Amino acid sequence: MLEVSDIHVSYGKVEAVRGVSLTVKPGKVTLVLGANGAGKSTTLKAVAGLEKPTSGTIVLDEKPITGMPPHAIVRRGIALVPEGRRVFAPLMIHENLRMGAYTAPKSSYDETLAKVYEMFPILSDRSHAAAGLLSGGEQQMLAFGRALMSQPKVMLLDEPSMGLAPAVVDSILTKVRAMADSGIGILMVEQNAEAGLDVADDVVAIARGEVVFTGPATSARDNASVLRAFLGEAALAGQ
Ligand SMILES: Nc1ncnc2c1ncn2[C@@H]1O[C@H](COP(=O)(O)OP(=O)(O)O)[C@@H](O)[C@H]1O
Ligand SMILES: [Mg+2]
Protein backbone atom coordinates (compact mmCIF):
# COMPACT_ATOMS: atom_id res chain seq x y z
CA MET A 1 0.00 0.00 0.00
CA LEU A 2 1.31 3.41 -1.07
CA GLU A 3 0.11 6.44 0.86
CA VAL A 4 0.88 9.95 -0.29
CA SER A 5 -0.17 12.53 2.31
CA ASP A 6 -0.39 16.25 1.74
CA ILE A 7 2.74 16.62 -0.40
CA HIS A 8 3.91 19.95 -1.74
CA VAL A 9 6.44 20.22 -4.58
CA SER A 10 7.95 23.44 -5.94
CA TYR A 11 10.04 24.38 -8.96
CA GLY A 12 11.85 27.44 -7.67
CA LYS A 13 9.13 29.86 -6.57
CA VAL A 14 6.36 28.00 -8.38
CA GLU A 15 4.46 25.50 -6.26
CA ALA A 16 3.32 22.85 -8.78
CA VAL A 17 1.82 20.41 -6.25
CA ARG A 18 -0.08 21.86 -3.30
CA GLY A 19 -1.17 19.32 -0.77
CA VAL A 20 -1.85 16.21 -2.85
CA SER A 21 -2.95 13.06 -0.99
CA LEU A 22 -3.74 9.72 -2.58
CA THR A 23 -3.63 5.98 -1.99
CA VAL A 24 -2.59 3.07 -4.21
CA LYS A 25 -3.68 -0.40 -3.11
CA PRO A 26 -2.18 -3.73 -4.20
CA GLY A 27 -3.95 -5.10 -7.26
CA LYS A 28 -5.78 -1.81 -7.89
CA VAL A 29 -5.45 1.01 -10.42
CA THR A 30 -5.60 4.59 -9.13
CA LEU A 31 -6.19 6.93 -12.08
CA VAL A 32 -4.93 10.51 -11.92
CA LEU A 33 -6.92 12.97 -14.04
CA GLY A 34 -6.26 16.65 -14.60
CA ALA A 35 -5.65 19.29 -17.25
CA ASN A 36 -2.25 20.04 -18.74
CA GLY A 37 0.03 21.55 -16.12
CA ALA A 38 -2.17 20.43 -13.21
CA GLY A 39 0.76 18.73 -11.46
CA LYS A 40 0.16 15.09 -12.39
CA SER A 41 3.68 14.28 -13.61
CA THR A 42 5.20 16.22 -10.73
CA THR A 43 3.20 14.07 -8.29
CA LEU A 44 4.53 10.88 -9.92
CA LYS A 45 8.08 12.26 -9.96
CA ALA A 46 7.85 13.07 -6.26
CA VAL A 47 6.78 9.49 -5.49
CA ALA A 48 9.67 8.18 -7.62
CA GLY A 49 12.16 10.44 -5.83
CA LEU A 50 12.92 12.56 -8.91
CA GLU A 51 11.54 15.68 -7.21
CA LYS A 52 11.77 16.29 -3.46
CA PRO A 53 8.59 17.37 -1.69
CA THR A 54 9.00 20.48 0.48
CA SER A 55 6.48 18.95 2.91
CA GLY A 56 4.17 15.98 3.31
CA THR A 57 4.92 12.28 3.49
CA ILE A 58 5.13 9.31 1.13
CA VAL A 59 4.83 5.90 2.80
CA LEU A 60 5.16 2.46 1.24
CA ASP A 61 4.03 -0.50 3.35
CA GLU A 62 4.19 1.63 6.49
CA LYS A 63 7.78 2.76 5.86
CA PRO A 64 8.45 6.38 4.90
CA ILE A 65 10.28 6.91 1.60
CA THR A 66 9.87 10.70 1.39
CA GLY A 67 12.97 12.40 0.00
CA MET A 68 14.85 9.16 -0.68
CA PRO A 69 16.94 9.05 -3.90
CA PRO A 70 15.35 7.40 -6.96
CA HIS A 71 17.49 4.23 -6.93
CA ALA A 72 16.59 3.57 -3.28
CA ILE A 73 12.90 4.01 -4.07
CA VAL A 74 13.17 1.53 -6.96
CA ARG A 75 14.75 -0.91 -4.51
CA ARG A 76 11.81 -0.44 -2.12
CA GLY A 77 9.49 -1.51 -4.93
CA ILE A 78 8.30 1.52 -6.88
CA ALA A 79 8.93 1.69 -10.63
CA LEU A 80 8.24 4.75 -12.79
CA VAL A 81 7.33 4.36 -16.45
CA PRO A 82 7.96 7.90 -17.64
CA GLU A 83 6.02 9.91 -20.15
CA GLY A 84 7.29 9.23 -23.67
CA ARG A 85 8.45 5.69 -22.75
CA ARG A 86 12.20 6.49 -23.06
CA VAL A 87 13.36 3.11 -24.25
CA PHE A 88 16.99 2.88 -25.37
CA ALA A 89 16.42 2.78 -29.13
CA PRO A 90 19.79 1.36 -30.26
CA LEU A 91 19.74 -1.42 -27.67
CA MET A 92 17.99 -4.72 -28.22
CA ILE A 93 14.76 -5.51 -26.39
CA HIS A 94 16.39 -7.99 -24.02
CA GLU A 95 19.11 -5.44 -23.23
CA ASN A 96 16.48 -2.82 -22.37
CA LEU A 97 14.81 -5.36 -20.07
CA ARG A 98 18.13 -6.18 -18.40
CA MET A 99 18.60 -2.48 -17.57
CA GLY A 100 15.35 -2.56 -15.63
CA ALA A 101 16.68 -5.37 -13.44
CA TYR A 102 19.71 -3.57 -12.02
CA THR A 103 18.27 -3.30 -8.52
CA ALA A 104 16.71 -6.79 -8.45
CA PRO A 105 18.42 -9.94 -7.15
CA LYS A 106 20.35 -11.81 -9.88
CA SER A 107 18.94 -15.12 -8.66
CA SER A 108 15.41 -14.23 -9.80
CA TYR A 109 16.38 -12.67 -13.15
CA ASP A 110 15.39 -15.61 -15.38
CA GLU A 111 12.08 -16.12 -13.62
CA THR A 112 11.13 -12.44 -13.84
CA LEU A 113 12.15 -12.28 -17.50
CA ALA A 114 9.99 -15.34 -18.24
CA LYS A 115 6.99 -13.62 -16.58
CA VAL A 116 7.55 -10.45 -18.63
CA TYR A 117 7.78 -12.47 -21.84
CA GLU A 118 4.61 -14.32 -20.88
CA MET A 119 2.73 -11.06 -20.36
CA PHE A 120 4.20 -9.45 -23.49
CA PRO A 121 4.84 -12.21 -26.07
CA ILE A 122 5.85 -9.61 -28.68
CA LEU A 123 8.93 -8.80 -26.57
CA SER A 124 9.91 -12.45 -26.52
CA ASP A 125 9.37 -12.89 -30.26
CA ARG A 126 11.57 -9.89 -31.02
CA SER A 127 13.98 -10.03 -28.10
CA HIS A 128 17.00 -9.47 -30.37
CA ALA A 129 15.49 -6.56 -32.30
CA ALA A 130 16.58 -3.01 -31.58
CA ALA A 131 13.99 -1.24 -29.43
CA GLY A 132 13.92 1.66 -31.89
CA LEU A 133 12.38 -0.63 -34.53
CA LEU A 134 9.28 -1.28 -32.43
CA SER A 135 5.96 0.51 -32.95
CA GLY A 136 4.80 3.03 -30.35
CA GLY A 137 2.53 0.48 -28.67
CA GLU A 138 5.30 -2.12 -28.60
CA GLN A 139 7.72 0.43 -27.13
CA GLN A 140 5.14 1.12 -24.40
CA MET A 141 4.99 -2.60 -23.64
CA LEU A 142 8.79 -2.64 -23.48
CA ALA A 143 8.70 0.28 -21.05
CA PHE A 144 6.20 -1.70 -18.91
CA GLY A 145 8.40 -4.80 -19.17
CA ARG A 146 11.52 -2.89 -18.17
CA ALA A 147 9.71 -1.57 -15.08
CA LEU A 148 8.44 -5.07 -14.22
CA MET A 149 12.03 -6.34 -14.24
CA SER A 150 12.61 -4.40 -10.99
CA GLN A 151 9.88 -6.56 -9.36
CA PRO A 152 7.77 -3.57 -8.29
CA LYS A 153 4.99 -3.52 -5.72
CA VAL A 154 3.79 -0.24 -7.22
CA MET A 155 4.09 1.08 -10.77
CA LEU A 156 3.76 4.74 -11.73
CA LEU A 157 2.57 5.13 -15.33
CA ASP A 158 2.74 8.60 -16.89
CA GLU A 159 0.38 8.85 -19.88
CA PRO A 160 1.02 5.37 -21.30
CA SER A 161 -1.37 5.82 -24.24
CA MET A 162 0.05 9.13 -25.42
CA GLY A 163 0.44 9.28 -29.20
CA LEU A 164 -1.01 5.81 -29.81
CA ALA A 165 -3.85 4.88 -32.19
CA PRO A 166 -7.23 4.16 -30.47
CA ALA A 167 -7.06 0.40 -31.05
CA VAL A 168 -3.57 0.31 -29.53
CA VAL A 169 -4.73 2.40 -26.54
CA ASP A 170 -7.19 -0.35 -25.62
CA SER A 171 -4.55 -3.07 -25.78
CA ILE A 172 -2.15 -1.01 -23.64
CA LEU A 173 -4.81 -0.33 -21.01
CA THR A 174 -5.79 -4.01 -21.03
CA LYS A 175 -2.15 -4.76 -20.13
CA VAL A 176 -2.32 -2.17 -17.34
CA ARG A 177 -5.32 -4.02 -15.91
CA ALA A 178 -3.48 -7.34 -16.23
CA MET A 179 -0.45 -5.98 -14.37
CA ALA A 180 -2.75 -4.81 -11.58
CA ASP A 181 -4.52 -8.16 -11.51
CA SER A 182 -1.13 -9.80 -10.92
CA GLY A 183 -1.09 -7.93 -7.57
CA ILE A 184 0.80 -4.74 -8.43
CA GLY A 185 -0.63 -1.40 -7.32
CA ILE A 186 -0.79 1.07 -10.18
CA LEU A 187 -0.84 4.86 -10.15
CA MET A 188 -1.63 5.98 -13.70
CA VAL A 189 -1.91 9.38 -15.32
CA GLU A 190 -4.08 9.12 -18.41
CA GLN A 191 -5.31 11.94 -20.66
CA ASN A 192 -7.77 9.56 -22.29
CA ALA A 193 -10.21 9.75 -19.37
CA GLU A 194 -12.90 7.50 -20.86
CA ALA A 195 -10.47 4.68 -21.61
CA GLY A 196 -8.63 5.20 -18.33
CA LEU A 197 -11.86 4.98 -16.30
CA ASP A 198 -12.61 1.60 -17.90
CA VAL A 199 -9.61 0.01 -16.15
CA ALA A 200 -9.43 2.17 -13.01
CA ASP A 201 -10.62 1.29 -9.51
CA ASP A 202 -10.10 4.69 -7.93
CA VAL A 203 -9.76 8.21 -9.27
CA VAL A 204 -7.92 11.29 -8.07
CA ALA A 205 -8.55 14.51 -10.01
CA ILE A 206 -6.05 17.34 -9.69
CA ALA A 207 -6.52 20.98 -10.65
CA ARG A 208 -3.73 23.55 -10.27
CA GLY A 209 -1.79 21.30 -7.93
CA GLU A 210 -4.71 20.47 -5.63
CA VAL A 211 -6.93 17.42 -5.32
CA VAL A 212 -10.50 18.29 -6.34
CA PHE A 213 -11.95 14.78 -6.31
CA THR A 214 -11.11 11.42 -4.79
CA GLY A 215 -13.39 8.43 -5.14
CA PRO A 216 -14.22 5.21 -6.90
CA ALA A 217 -14.00 5.19 -10.72
CA THR A 218 -17.71 4.39 -10.97
CA SER A 219 -18.66 7.69 -9.31
CA ALA A 220 -16.08 9.77 -11.22
CA ARG A 221 -17.78 9.60 -14.61
CA ASP A 222 -20.65 11.92 -13.70
CA ASN A 223 -18.84 14.21 -11.29
CA ALA A 224 -18.60 17.81 -12.51
CA SER A 225 -15.45 18.63 -10.56
CA VAL A 226 -13.67 15.70 -12.21
CA LEU A 227 -14.72 16.96 -15.63
CA ARG A 228 -13.62 20.47 -14.77
CA ALA A 229 -10.22 19.20 -13.67
CA PHE A 230 -9.90 17.09 -16.77
CA LEU A 231 -11.08 19.60 -19.34
CA GLY A 232 -9.83 22.72 -17.61
CA GLU A 233 -11.81 25.78 -16.54
CA ALA A 234 -11.67 27.34 -20.00
CA ALA A 235 -13.25 24.32 -21.70
CA LEU A 236 -16.20 24.31 -19.30
CA ALA A 237 -16.63 28.08 -19.33
CA GLY A 238 -16.99 27.94 -23.11
CA GLN A 239 -19.95 25.57 -22.97
N1 LIG B 1 11.17 21.07 -14.48
C2 LIG B 1 10.29 22.06 -14.28
N3 LIG B 1 10.70 23.31 -13.99
C4 LIG B 1 9.82 24.30 -13.76
N5 LIG B 1 8.48 24.15 -13.81
C6 LIG B 1 8.01 22.94 -14.11
C7 LIG B 1 8.89 21.83 -14.36
N8 LIG B 1 8.13 20.74 -14.63
C9 LIG B 1 6.84 21.15 -14.55
N10 LIG B 1 6.77 22.46 -14.25
C11 LIG B 1 5.53 23.23 -14.05
O12 LIG B 1 4.81 22.64 -12.98
C13 LIG B 1 3.43 22.60 -13.27
C14 LIG B 1 2.95 21.14 -13.23
O15 LIG B 1 3.58 20.42 -14.28
P16 LIG B 1 3.33 18.87 -14.51
O17 LIG B 1 3.42 18.17 -13.22
O18 LIG B 1 4.25 18.43 -15.60
O19 LIG B 1 1.82 18.87 -15.01
P20 LIG B 1 0.96 17.74 -15.74
O21 LIG B 1 1.76 16.47 -15.76
O22 LIG B 1 -0.28 17.64 -14.94
O23 LIG B 1 0.68 18.27 -17.12
C24 LIG B 1 3.25 23.26 -14.62
O25 LIG B 1 2.91 24.61 -14.40
C26 LIG B 1 4.61 23.15 -15.25
O27 LIG B 1 4.84 24.21 -16.15
MG1 LIG C 1 2.44 15.31 -17.34
Q: Is residue 107 situated within a structural domain?
A: yes
Q: CATH number of the domain that 115 lies in?
A: 3.40.50.300
- Assess whether pLDDT exceeds 90 at residue 229: no
Q: Which domain, by its residues, includes 186?
A: 23-37+68-237
* Single-letter amino acid code for the residue at 180: A
Rounded to whole angstroms, the Cα distance separating 178 from 176 reads 5
Ligand 1 center from residue 139 Cα (angstroms): 24
Query: Which of the ligands is closest to the CA of residue 43?
Result: 1
Q: Within 6 Å (CB) of ligand 1, which residues are found? A: 11, 14, 16, 34, 36-42
Dist. CA 207–CA 40, nearest whole Å: 9
Cα gap 63→48, rounded to integer Å: 15
- Give the rounded distance of the alpha carbon of 118 from its chain centre: 21
Overall average pLDDT of the 199-225 stretch: 90
Residue 138: per-residue pLDDT: 96
Cα 8 to middle of ligand 2, angstroms: 16
The answer to whether position 144 is within a domain reads yes
156 domain-assigned? yes
| Closest ligand 1 atom number to CA of residue 17 | 14
Nearest residue (by CA) to ligand 1, atom 27, is 37
On the question of pLDDT at 236 being above 90, the answer is no
CA of 94 to the centre of ligand 1 (A): 33
> Is residue 165 one of the residues assigned to a domain?
yes
Beta bridge partners of 5: 57
Cβ neighbours for 185, distance < 8 A, ≥ 6 positions apart? 1, 2, 24, 25, 26, 27, 28, 30, 153, 154, 155
Whether residue 197 lies inside any domain: the answer is yes
User: What pTM was estimated for this model as a whole?
Assistant: 0.94
Mean pLDDT of 53-78: 97
d(C-alpha 111, C-alpha 149), whole Å = 10
Q: Where are the alpha helices (DSSP H) in the chain?
A: 40-48, 70-76, 93-100, 109-119, 121-125, 136-148, 166-181, 193-199, 217-220, 224-231, 233-237
Atom of ligand 1 nearest to the CA of 42: 17
Protein residue closest via CA to atom 4 of ligand 1: 11
Predicted local distance difference test score (pLDDT) of residue 233: 57
Query: In a 3-state reduction of DSSP, which class is residue 10?
Result: strand
Nearest ligand 1 atom to alpha carbon 12: 4
Average pLDDT, the chain: 93
Q: Is 105 exposed, middle or buried (0-12, 13-18, 19+ CB in 10 A)?
A: exposed
Q: Is residue 75 part of a domain?
A: yes
- Distance (Å) from CA 190 to ligand 2 centroid: 9
The ligand placed nearest to the CA atom of residue 82 is: 2
Domain count, the chain: 1
Atom of ligand 1 nearest to the CA of 44: 17
Give a yes or no: residue 87 inside a domain.
yes
Q: Which numbered ligand comes closest to the C-alpha of 83? A: 2
Model confidence over 141-165: pLDDT tens digits? 999 999 999 999 999 999 999 999 9
59: how many CB neighbours lie within 10 A of its CB?
Answer: 14
Does residue 169 fall inside a structural domain? yes
